[in-house]
Amino acid sequence: MLVTAGPTWEPIDAVRVLSNRSTGGMGTAIAAAAADAGHRVTLLLGPPCPAPAARTGLDVHRFGSSLDLEAALAARFPACELLVMAAAVADHRPAAPAAGKLPRAGRLTLDLEAVPDLVAACAARRGPGQRIVSFSLEEAEQLETRAAAKLAAKGVDAAVANPVATLGSAGVDAVLLHAGGHRERPGPMTKAAFAAWLVGRAEALFDAPAEPDRGS
């Protein structure tokens, strides 16, 4: 199993970055729960998130920027059976980061470029038998509508629709949406409890056909 967690740091210059408020707590809890359930797990963990306690079956590797994560996925995704993409990848990054530290001056305008959709790229090139679960962080009012649209666009097997209020909290009240159209909502619980529940639901994905490769 391959799990991603935490934010990306998109460099502005040699010192400053663009990032988000993800703590990586949900993804690290999933990786720990999967290892405790007997899976071999590789956790790709962003900065500056603390790693889960060492345990049998869990390997942790660090990434910094979206480029780092893209390279790590390209290297590790082909060999995994299940990808749980819980990392909070930036939507945009500076197009041309400065090599040194920019001086403090007046107004600074950044030219941003779109970050490729990393989970959609994995879905497009996956092989037979691989499953993918993505995460979608949305405002509560449009939680399931937007998450369902992203699930369909990315071509994944399931998506966790996660309310924005989850950021920085100990608990979660998320919905698991499936490509076949059904939904599961276990109710409010701690992130650790939700992680254990999600691992069980992800295992069940192998009882159903995978989403078809969009390129086929």
Q: How many CB atoms lie within 10 A of CB 158?
A: 25
The pLDDT value recorded for residue 210 is: 67
* 66 φ, ψ (degrees, to nearest 5): -65, -30
* DSSP class of 166: G
In the chain, count of helices (H) and strands (E)? 5, 14
Confidence category of residue 212, pLDDT binned at 50, 70, 90: low
For 171, the token pair is 């608990």
- Distance, in Å, from the CA atom of 113 to the CA atom of 95, rounded to the nearest integer, reads 5
Three-state DSSP at 15 gives: coil
CA distance 156 to 147: 11
Kindly list the distances between the CA atom of residue 20 and the CA atoms of 75, 133, 156, 182, 195, in Å, as whole numbers in the listed order.
Answer: 25, 21, 24, 31, 22
Show the tokens assigned to 48: 């500056």
Least confident of 36-45, 99-108, 119-128, 154-163: 99-108
Mean pLDDT across 123-141: 96
Backbone phi and psi for residue 29, each to the nearest 5 degrees, phi listed first: -65, -40
Q: Is the torsion defined by CA of 50, 64, 119, 74 positive or negative?
A: negative
What whole-number distance in Å separates Cα of residue 175 and Cα of residue 202? Answer: 13
Q: Does residue 213 register a pLDDT over 60?
A: no
Please give the CATH architecture assigned to the domain spanning 2-91+112-207: 3-Layer(aba) Sandwich (3.40)
Q: What is the pLDDT of residues 55-106, one digit of tens each?
A: 999 999 999 999 999 999 999 999 999 999 999 999 999 999 999 999 998 8
- The pLDDT value given to residue 215: 46
Q: How far apart are CA 137 and CA 147, in angstroms?
A: 8
Q: What is the mean pLDDT of the chain?
A: 95
Question: Where exactly are the structural domains of the chain?
Answer: 2-91+112-207
Q: Say how far residue 41 (Cα) sits from the centre of its chain.
A: 15
Report the run of H or E that residue 4 belongs to, with start and end. strand 2-5
What's the start-to-end Cα distance of the chain, in Å? 25
Residues tagged active-site: 20
In the chain, the percentage of residues whose pLDDT exceeds 70 is: 96
Residues in a beta bridge with 3: 43, 84
Query: Taking a C-beta distance cutoff of 8 angstroms, is the pair 34, 198 a contact?
Result: no
